[in-house]
Amino acid sequence: MKKLKSLFRQTEFHALIFCIALGLLNWPFLGALRSRRLEVVALCLFLFWLVLIILLLLISRCIEEDDRGCSGESRKDKT
C-alpha cells in the first residue's frame, strides 16, 4: 500500500495519467467506437470517466495524507 501511495504522489504519474486520458478521449478513439451502438459508446465513456474520477480521488487523498503526516497539522492550519 505504501508503494501505491508513493506512486500516487509523484508528478510524473499525474502527467502519465493525463497523457493516457487525453489519448483515450481523442478523436480516433471516439471514431473507432462509431461503428457500435450509441448505448455501448456512452457506457464506455462513462466507465472511463468513472475510473478517472476514482483515480483522482485516490491521488488527492494520498497527497492530503502526506501534507498532514509531514508537518503534523492540517491543511487549514497552514493557510
For the ranges 7-11, 63-67, 72-76, which has the lowest average pLDDT?
Answer: 72-76
pLDDT at 71 over 60: no
The pTM is what?
0.60
Backbone angles phi, psi at 68, to 5 degrees: -75, -35
Alpha helices, DSSP H only, in the chain?
Answer: 2-9, 11-24, 27-32, 38-71, 75-78
For the chain, the domains span: 2-70
User: pLDDT by residue (tens digit) across 25-56?
Assistant: 776 666 766 767 777 778 888 888 898 899 88
Name the residue with higher pLDDT: 16 or 8: 16
